Amino acid sequence: MLATEKLIKDLNTNQRRAEQLVAKFDYFSELVKKSFAGDYPLVNGVSVETTGQSLEALFCQKTMLLVFKPTIPKGQSYLKGSIEIYIREDFPKQSFSLLKTIMFDHDGETGLKMPSISDPININVDTHVINLFLNLLNELLAA
């Protein structure tokens, strides 16, 4: 059992982190929507819908669902953001298969690397978000 002071500190820190993580995911979602389903999309034929803490993308008749969840990784005390990426299957019945999970911290930094410069991908940096989503679309087609 944790001491009262530590619990209070951890819970208050996690509340602040939850707000930061939601803001990071919201920024990510809006940038994806603007870049891929706006007036001048980077890739033609992408449909993007955002609802609450999820983003659904339709491309080449395949559907991908990105769901935000705050989570505390095993052995840690503080929240991180989790984006679970699902592929929707319509046959033989509608179901969702987990493709991958991307974790990010309260600064938006993930454990993934930008391919050309080996810097960590940050879900709050425009070029990083675009690169990440392009790769997710490519993985959607291969799934």
Tell me the sheet residues that pair with 65.
56, 86
For residue 111, give Cα distances in angstroms to 24, 96, 98, 105. Answer: 15, 24, 18, 9
| Joined tokens for residue 35 | 């870049």
The segments of the chain whose pLDDT lies below 50 read: none
What is the tally of helices (H) and strands (E) in the chain? 2, 7
Buried b (16+ CB within 10 A) or exposed e, 93-113: eeeeeebeebebbbebbbebe
What are 64-95's pLDDT values in tens digits? 999 999 999 998 889 999 999 999 987 777 88
Among 137, 89, 129, 91, which residue's Cα sits nearest to residue 112?
Answer: 129
Report the interhelical angle of 4-37 vs 126-142 (nearest 10°): 80
**Which pLDDT value is given to residue 2?**
67
**Would you kindly state where each structural domain of the chain is located, as residue ranges?**
4-142
Confirm if 46 and 36 have CB atoms less than 8 A apart: yes
